[in-house]
Amino acid sequence: MPIDARQMALSVLNRLQDENKTLDTIMEEAYASDVLHDKREKALLQALVFGVLRWQGRLDWIIAQFSKSPLQRIEPEILNILRLGLFQIIYLSKIPVSAAVNTSVEMAKSTAPLWVVKFVNGVLRNAVRKHETLEFPDLHTDPVTALSATKSFPRWLILRWLKRYGLEETEQLCDAINKIPPLTIRTNTIKATREELIKSLETGVEQPQPTRFSPDGITFSHPGVAIPDLPSFRQGWFQVQDEAAQLVTLMLNPQAEDTVLDACAGLGGKTGHIAQLMKNRGRIVAMDNDSHKLERLKAEMQRLGVENTTVRCHDLTRPISDEYHALFDRILVDAPCSGLGVLRRNPDIKWRLSKKNFRNYQKRQIQFMDHLAPCIKPSGIIVYSVCSTESEENEDVINAFLTTHSKFIIDKELAYLPSQIHSLVNEKGYMKTQPHAHHMDGFFAVVFKRNS
């Protein structure tokens, strides 16, 4: 049987359960395999994988209504086949229902015995006939079960958000996360202005618009080609980056002749932004514990025309060499975290994360800050940020750092920030963004100043 988008989607979903890799990595490998040559097949693969992961909780609840076996007793691959079939039936109106059912049954035939194939066929055909008349749990008598089933989130996460936000705002947050986010990019002002970039995009994408908060951001929809194939991308005029992530670098406020450490640089999304704010002058050290990411970062800086960056491979769970002590004017700590703020773009996270993970992330975040604190110059600035809105990774980390580092205070003034960005900073100096409130990813950031 030739590989098509549905089989590739099943492979991606199975690998996500079996392997310790991120969804982005597995999707990159799927595209790189060059098995899907047709642009429409690649688009269907994207829609199936992200759609199933986005609505997995709702799909599972419906499957449970038509299955005589508890979900826990269904083989994971068969459950993924059912999810793929049901997602097409409910959400993809351009795919005939018969095609959704028949292709799912064919996928089951390739791996399962006849009785399991009949089971898949029976569940999906029952769902076709009856899913629109199902009654979901009552929102007012059992809000946790109701929101978990209808909005597709784990129960523990719904319970946590209900306690913090209440019913109405939790619904709004879930709805915002479940929407497909816009494509957001950041102009590389080393090579172009935002106006020039918008004009160049007008022939390749739909509705390029300046972002509300970031002065260099642009959102758009429906690119006619893959982003790397856009001429302006190849020319290095932009990086793909959500608006909230752009605001973090603006809080760092790097200056042209500074020495800056991007301590958790990853693939260089914020490194490129730091370089353009420094007008390609001064010195940036991009640090990460993954040498492969740093190689890709170097290639990315070359595409952007960035010339003031060097890389350093280092694991921040270990202390930093004395040569870096009191060296930097500014340090950005975009720390590894749960990623709950970027669920719009990474729906797999909600099914892999446990509330127990928060303390593990917090331990590393505090450790990173402890090891970086000696590296800042007197009067220097450290920006701590995470793409998470959970207190364990936000306020708790800040309080732990201040308790053991008396030379640092939180800068609450932030006079250099434009008023529209300053409006996102509360009285404690915390910048917090939320998908439902600000139409961008959920980020937390704070600016520390060293007194002496």
- Provide the annotated active-site residues: 387
Radius of gyration of the chain (CA): 24
State both tokens at 165: 């936000």
What CA–CA distance (Å, rounded) separates 319 from 196?
44
For 314-335, letters b (16+ CB in 10 Å) and e give bebeeebeeebeebbbbbbbbb
State both tokens at 157: 């996460």
Phi, psi of 48 (to 5 degrees): -70, -50
The three-state (H, E, C) secondary structure of 26-66, written as one string: HHHHHHHCCCCCCHHHHHHHHHHHHHHHHCHHHHHHHHHHH
Q: Quickly tell me which residue has 């089971």 as its tokens.
A: 119
- On whether the CB atoms of residues 328 and 255 are closer than 8 A, the answer is no
DSSP 179-220: SPPPEEEEE-TTT--HHHHHHHHTTTSEEEEE-SS-TTEEEE
What CA–CA distance (Å, rounded) separates 215 from 97?
46
Q: Quickly tell me which residue has 């997602």 as its tokens.
A: 87
What CA–CA distance (Å, rounded) separates 97 from 226?
29
The β-bridge partners of 220 are 183
Helix/strand/coil for 383: strand
Q: E strands within 125-282? A: 183-187, 206-210, 217-221, 238-240, 259-262
